[in-house]
Structure 1
Amino acid sequence: MMTLYHSPKSRSTRIIALLYELGALDDVSVQIVAIARQDGSGQRDPANPHPEGKVPFLAHDGVTIWESSAIMLYLADLFPKAGLSIPPGHPQRGAYLSWFAWYAGVVEPVMLLEAIGLTHPALASTFRSGTEMRQRLAAGLAEGPYLFGARFTAADLLLHSPYAWFGKAGDPVLDDWVERCMARPGAAFATEFDAGHVLK
């Protein structure tokens, strides 16, 4: 049995979209929990087993998986028939895994630093600048329409997600890609799901 601990309109919304794309909604129980949000609303939910009270958090037969990148990799591999994962042994598997690690190690830190207006040469040399990050992502889409050509994968779902939340990147290649990803049925389902599960 699998349980996803989810809070509407949060980082875990992309996991709801992924579950829809995987055809796995009947295989995963979604438990709605509260979280403390950056605007000061919400609070830590004692029903959420995440050690930091965050979402997403996935429990599968006693195994726990946290962080969006890990959860998405785990689920896409677990439901291979959907074709959203690039399997072990495939020539593109290494690149596929690299996009997930790059998202967690570069994209989120860089976007956060830009949002709060924090700059320093050490930060830029460690994480790259926002411009360099967007250029790298656009280069990955050179043979588009997705990161792996015509094939939409969980990597696209993860990497487009911050732009779905915070707005377009201002780069035509990236903006067109974000629109394609947002037009997917999983994105529409996740929006409707969250609207129907808003915590009172």
Structure 2
Amino acid sequence: MLTLYHSPISRSTRVLTLIEELGITDEVTIKAVSIRRFDGSGTRDPANPHPDGKVPLLDHDGTLISETPAIFLYLTALFPDSGLAPKPGDPRRGDYLTWLFYYSAVVEPVLICASAGVDHPMFTATWRGPAELAARLHAALAKGPWLLGDHYSAADLLMHSPFAWFPEATPDDPLIRDWVARCQARPATAVAKARDQALLAA
């Protein structure tokens, strides 16, 4: 049994969207929980087993998986015929894994520091900066409409997500802006947003 601990309109909405893309909505129970938000609103939910009280958290028969890239990797491996991730042995597999780990290791720190107006030589030496992030995205998208070429993958879903949430952070690059728009135009995105609104209304 798969259970997603989810808070509407949060980072876990990306996992909700992935579930739609995978076509496994009937196989995943969504458990809505409250979280403490960055603006100070909300509270930690005692029903949420995440060690930090955050979301997303995936429970698969008692095995807990936290951190969005880990959940993306877990679910796309659990449902390998979805087409959302190259299978082992596919030459694109390396790029796919790289994008997932690059997201958590570089993208979020870079964008959060930029948004907070925090800068330090150690940060740019370790993580690089927004310009390097934009250049890396541009180089990949110059080869095809998606990060892995001709096929949309879970890497696109994850990597475009911060620009969907914070459009002002989107690089002023037509290739990147058009890619974000293509990702946002996918039917699964609209379905996940509607599910979030329904959860909020409830």
Could you say which TM-score interval applies, normalised by the shorter chain?
over 0.9
- If the length of structure 2 is used for normalisation, what is the TM-score? 0.96
Give how far 1:67 is off.
0.3
Moved over 4 A (4+): none
In the superposition, the TM-score normalised over structure 1's length comes to 0.97
In 2, Cα distance between equivalents of 1:165 and 1:97: 23
User: Do the aligned partners of 1:163 and 1:178 also contact (CA within 8 Å) in 2?
Assistant: yes
5+ residue gaps, structure 2, are none
CA RMSD of aligned residues (A): 1.0
Give the corresponding residue for 2:102: 102
How far, CA to CA, are the matches of 1:182 and 1:135 in structure 2?
21
SS of residue in 1 equivalent to 2:50: coil
Q: Secondary structure at the match of 2:144?
A: coil
1:199 and 1:8 map into 2 onto residues whose CA distance is 10
Matches within 5 A, 1:23-172: 23-167=23-167, 168-172=170-174
Query: Residues of 2 paired with 1:64 and 1:120: CA distance?
Result: 35
In structure 1, stretches of 5+ residues that fail to align are none
The aligned counterpart of 2:199 is 197
Structure 2 CA distance, aligned partners of 1:109 and 1:197? 29
AA aligned opposite 1:188 = A
Q: Give the paired residue count.
A: 200
How far apart, CA to CA, are the structure 2 residues paired with 1:194 and 1:47? 19
Encode CA deviations 1:100-124: one digit per residue, 9 max, x unaligned.
Answer: 1100000000000000000111110
Deviation track 1:24-56 (CA, whole Å, cap 9, x = no partner) reads 111110000000001111000000000000000
Higher relative contact order (CA 8 A, sep 6+): 1
Distance, in Å, in 1 between the alignment partners of 2:171 and 2:142 is 16
Look up the SS of the partner of 1:197 in the other structure. helix
Do 1:34 and 1:199's aligned partners in 2 also have CA atoms closer than 8 Å?
no
CA distance in 1, matches of 2:197, 2:172: 28
Q: CA deviation at 1:84?
A: 0.2
